[in-house]
A and B are shown apart, each in its own frame.
Chain A
Amino acid sequence: MVTSNPFTAMFGRSPFQPLLSHIAKASECAGELLPFFEATLIGDWEAATRHRETITRLEHEADKLKTELRLNLPNTLFLPVSRSDLLELISVQDKIANKARDITGIMLGRRMQVPEELAQPMRDYLKTAIATVEQARKALEELQELLDSGFGRNVSQVMMKLIGELDQLERQADDQQVAIRRQLFEIEEKLFSIDVMFLYKIIDWIGELSDRAERVGSRLQILTAR
């Protein structure tokens, strides 16, 4: 009885499915930041802890997918894209989830509450960052279509458009960051100085979230350019 036919094994397991699932997890991770932020605003630390736990779990799952992809990528696998680009892409993706976890960690640990004046701009800023990650996920889904078509011209145009929108979102997040920093600067004298230090850090990290999402886009561009 033939169980492991070499002809079957000839078609290796495609690494693209874990890649897609991974960005979906990362995007879910980032999405959870918004309810977490709302909970911290009203000082509901129990709810915040729960959201933090969800984020940690998602981050672990993303890690598992990353390992799976790396294990699935032996040197003998023949792929339509460069192996190093693929590994680079997954590590950039992975950093999105990590950053989301870091943000919740520091905010929960220090029981940080964003000052009321900053709440709305921060909420918008966070939303933009999350939208950027979401956009990166959409672009990656396009990769599947691109693979289906054997890198057809039309699909790559769609992909380029998605990446263009991603860049735009990241710029928007940048502008929001500048505005928030300015607002914080105006009120920082009224606040406890160490809190201000960490607030700047959180603002920075949310910016990094969208930066990394944008990096996913540029890695994708490299991946599909050749």
Chain B
Amino acid sequence: MSIIVQNGDIFIILACLFGFFMAWGVGANDVANAMGTSVGSKAITIRQAIIIAVIFEFLGAWLAGGQVTETIRKGIIDPDLLEHDPQLLVYGMLAALLAAGSWLLVASMRGWPVSTTHSIVGAIVGFAVAGLGIDSVDWTKVGQIAASWLVSPLLAGSIAYMLFRSVQRLIFESNDPFAAAKRYVPMYVFLVGFIIAMVTLVKGLKHVGLHFSFLQSALLAALAGLVVMVMGAYLERRISRSKRKADRMGFEGVERIFGMLMIFTACAMAFAHGSNDVANAVGPLAAVISVVESRGAIDTAALVPWWVLVLGGSGIVVGLVTYGHRVIATLGTGITELTPSRGFAATLAAATTVVLASGTGLPISTTHTLVGAVLGVGLARGMQALNLRVIGTIVMSWLITLPAGAGLAIMFFFMFKGIFG
């Protein structure tokens, strides 16, 4: 107990530093993946992508980031075991943040799209096994998280498949695809607005102190969806049919309408990403703060202070601006054979999955869901060519991330234990 009282300020400062470092890693490594499809399909420019990412990552982290935070913070380790040695939790969380942050730094340098969620969960499990013994880990909870790694690509893939099929059915197969696109796209815009608003209202806003019933939330979300829809309809009016003669079916104009839609899905994706992945940085940070402020008591009911979410959000933004924009730039020039309609289906599906997951509190990986969603569109015969070998490599890098995070965390854990006793 005395260790925590003595070093309380140092712990909090360190936790904020490491948490910020970790959030920087999230911004540097992950955000590019989230924005890549939008930039890659030439729907938005890199500058627009950064502006959108900055605003919506931050909003997502702040408004809807609380729920997942709790899973990371207290879902994995059994709090009872730490009753007598609360400083171990502090060391462990510091170690986990530093380990995951370092791993993300390495991965970002190398250009591996690793999962930030994997890094932090691996790190926490690693420290728990090394420092507290195998039994300290709630393995069913870890199993649940692991299962969500399988479930989230599948879910995102199915949603993406259905979305693209619906686009095909409603727009590409109609007699006048351009007119059909004008007619149905506002509906998709509504969907985007509704989903984001719904999760913000149901799961997020309690951190700000607002409470709505489910029905009230649904109504408000529908209203928000309508507002976004009107905005979309306004933007859409300015898009005209292509004049090219070769484009007999009018697909070029359709793709331009979807390009407009990508602005909304990019916002959705950034929001979803911020709401889910900020937890990876903020969860352990919040744990340290709650232990220090309660002078050693492991209080499971503690709320995440709002400024912690702001810190996480800013970390992501700084990471994005300092490093992530380069990755977006490579993506922007690299993905050539991705059209706005496919990019839209993949991105909206991934965003929906992440938003749903952050609503239920499962820390899933954005990277996973996006790969799953792209595969889903591919199965709907949308993608012209997907390189399965590269997808395999990406999956491999996910597998390596767990032990790497764990190993680093164990190292740092014993380092802190050595320093503070």
Contact = CB atoms under 8 A, between A and B. Distances in A.
A158 B174 CA distance: 13
A6 B174 CA distance: 36
Given A5-B111, A148-B251, A80 B383 contact: yes
A131 B108 CA distance: 55
A184 B342 CA distance: 57
A153 B249 CA distance: 12
A145 B250 CA distance: 10
A78 B172 CA distance: 22
A151 B378 CA distance: 12
Nearest to A79: B385
A67 interface: no
A15 B388 contact: no
A79 B387 CA distance: 9
A147 B174 contact: no
A193 interface: no
Nearest to B164: A150
B371 to A, nearest CB: 7
B208 to A, nearest CB: 34
Interface string B265-303: 000000000000000000000000000000000000000
B335 A149 contact: no
Contact of B330 (A3, A14, A149, A158): A3
A6 B168 contact: no
A13 B383 CA distance: 11
Interface in A147-172: 147-155, 158
A4 B388 CA distance: 16
Count chain B CB atoms within 10 A of each CB in A1, A15, A158 and give the residue with the most: A1
Indicate the member of B334, B336, B384 with the most A CB atoms within 10 Å.
Answer: B384
Given A2-B327, A76-B392, A150-B172, A11 B249 contact: no
Contact of A149 (B113, B249, B336, B374): B249
B237 interface: no
Chain B interface SS verdict (over half): helix
Interface in B97-138: 108, 111-113
B172 A10 contact: no
A7 interface: yes
Interface string B374-403: 110010111111111111111001000000
A202 B383 CA distance: 43
Contacts of B40: 8, 11
Interface residues of A, number: 33
A2 B111 contact: yes
Contacts of A3: 111, 330
Contacts of A16: 384
A35 interface: no
Contacts of B248: 145, 158
Nearest to A11: B335
Contact of A8 (B326, B334, B384, B389): B334
A7 B172 contact: no
Given A6-B113, A12-B387, A150 B381 contact: yes
A87 B33 CA distance: 33
B173 A153 contact: yes
A154 B382 contact: no
Contacts of A109: none
Nearest to B167: A150
A4 B172 CA distance: 33
Nearest to A147: B384
A11 B397 contact: no
B108 A2 contact: yes
B2 interface: no
A8 B374 CA distance: 12
Nearest to B377: A150
A150 B32 CA distance: 27
- Going nearest first, the 5 A-B pairs with the smallest beta carbon separation are A8-B334, A12-B387, A149-B172, A76-B389, A2-B111
Given A5-B113, A11-B386, A145-B251, 9 more contacts: A2-B111, A3-B111, A5-B330, A6-B397, A8-B335, A10-B386, A13-B385, A149-B168, A150-B164
Interface of B: 32-33, 36, 40, 108, 111-113, 164, 167-168, 172-175, 177, 248-249, 251, 255, 326-327, 330-331, 334-339, 342, 371, 374-375, 378, 380-394, 397
19 contacts: A2-B327, A2-B330, A3-B111, A5-B334, A7-B33, A7-B36, A8-B331, A9-B390, A10-B371, A10-B386, A13-B385, A14-B337, A16-B384, A148-B172, A148-B249, A150-B168, A151-B381, A154-B175, A155-B172
